[in-house]
Structure 1
């Protein structure tokens, strides 16, 4: 069983080589992290090459949560970081690894569930992946050679978590009778709005629709919503649709 120590989940998104998954597990366990999630590994699962590379950290692979896609992997999370070395055209807070793990420690100390995304080895996370995150982690590497191995990136982030872990605050944010919305609840809300906007012809012209949807989803990920906020926004959209249908009669 994973330890009960408060910590973020490290999510490997479409990893390609078993050796790199094993190296990531070993890096995590070096710094006391044992909550690994794996999204759609290229070579299937389980992977004997991952086990061999993990050495003494094989338990993390045995207990890793498998997910078919990213929304499934993030369903219970309330705050998500995405690691990337390349500049993106998405408006998000950008943290250093140290700053990100300090923020993660604060959020986890308040009872939130935090995840950190790591992309596949060939090109890293795609914009659609990053659009689902609340913030970006960028490592200050040599601009002429910015590529980090998956295991190296996990190691660096895990190290910064270890440095911050002892500073997790004891207090919990008072949300009254409310809770932060989970990623699954946000995903359902965004899908609700996106579907209605598709019906209204908002995403036009067709060739620009995919990019418009990515920007639209990125907008939602920048907002911290409670479950009450989500329920209210669902109600607003339902009422607008009912009003439109009534006015057309």
Structure 2
């Protein structure tokens, strides 16, 4: 079974990256992806804190943008401690990892995003996710260390049994679209709509585009769906609008 990729988005301290690697390997996860680490890469402090889990760091994917590390993933969770003005399924770590196992059992690639230590993920990051993970912590002290949050997720992955939960998506021979395929479709759709002055008034254009992208990332689009929608966008772009 494919284990989920643990994605650290703009981590600020090497120590937390190393501690996250240890937490991952404790529970059998070894696929780490790092986006734009503040102190560069490689990081000596990360290696020191990783201790016996250094091999997780040795094979980590390090990229400048979130889009690059999510491009080949079929389903992405985002961890967050605060409410968002985005419509997404919200799960506990336990439920999320049950769902992750079901998806992985189908051969799909799953990722879990964790934000920077100071403020967590930004809305622009969360938009790329298919679902949210929220830990039911003490509301009077909700702050979790990055490595602690990774450990909770890895633990829930490890302790799930092999039974596939009932929410398995029936793909009927198709496969879920990868993140890069969805982004390519969205870029084309936004460009076509912008040419038709859809994003109006101008001061609302950014929020309208964010809502559109969030909606598409929330949908379980298949590869066939994206090809069909590319055809729809092309057909509409070629038609001359009537007054």
| Smaller-chain TM-score bracket | over 0.9
- Paired position in structure 1 for 2:186: 190
Partner of 1:148: 144
Shift of 1:6: 2.3
Which stretches in structure 1 are left out of the alignment for 5+ residues? none
Distance of aligned partners of 1:141 and 1:175 in 2 relative to their CA distance in 1, 3 Å threshold: closer
TM superposition shift of 1:71: 1.0
Q: Give me the TM-score of the superposition, normalised by structure 1.
A: 0.92
| Structure 1 residue aligned with 2:212 | 216
More displaced 10-residue stretch of structure 1: 198-207 or 140-149: 198-207
Q: Which runs of 4+ in 1 moved over 6 A?
A: none
Q: Distance in 1 between matches of 2:133 and 2:39?
A: 27
Matched with 2:2 is 6
In structure 1, which of residues 224, 228, 237 is the aligned counterpart of residue 224 of structure 2? 228
Q: Partners in 1 of 2:27 and 2:238 — Cα distance?
A: 53
Pick one of 12, 17, 20 that aligns with 1:21. 17
Deviations 1:120-171 (A, max 9, x none): 00100011111110000000011121111100000011000001154358xx
Deviation at 1:44, TM superposition (A): 0.5
- Equivalent position to 1:91, from 87, 94, 108: 87
2:43 maps to which of 42, 47, 61: 47
Contact 1:110–1:173 (Cα < 8 Å) also in 2 = no
CA–CA distance in 1 between the matches of 2:61 and 2:186? 25
Question: 1:87, 1:213 → 2: CA distance?
Answer: 20
Q: 2:126 aligned to 119, 123, 130, which one?
A: 130
Counterpart in the other structure of 1:101: 97
Asked if the contact 2:33/2:60 (under 8 Å) is kept, the reply is yes
- Change in Cα spacing, 1:198 to 1:165, as seen in structure 2 (3 Å) is farther
Contact 1:15 1:41 in 2 (8 A): yes
Deviations 1:80-114 (A, max 9, x none): 10000001110110000000000000110111110
Q: Give the one of 66, 76, 83 matched to 1:80.
A: 76
**Partner Cα separation in structure 2 for residue 174 and residue 206 of structure 1:** 40
- Unaligned stretches of 5+ in structure 2? none
Is the aligned partner of 1:161 residue 2:157? yes
TM-score by length of 2: 0.94
State the partner residue of 1:66. Answer: 62
Q: How many residues align?
A: 241
Counterparts of 1:174 and 1:84, CA distance in 2: 28
Conserved in 1, the CA contact under 8 Å of 2:2 and 2:109?
Answer: no
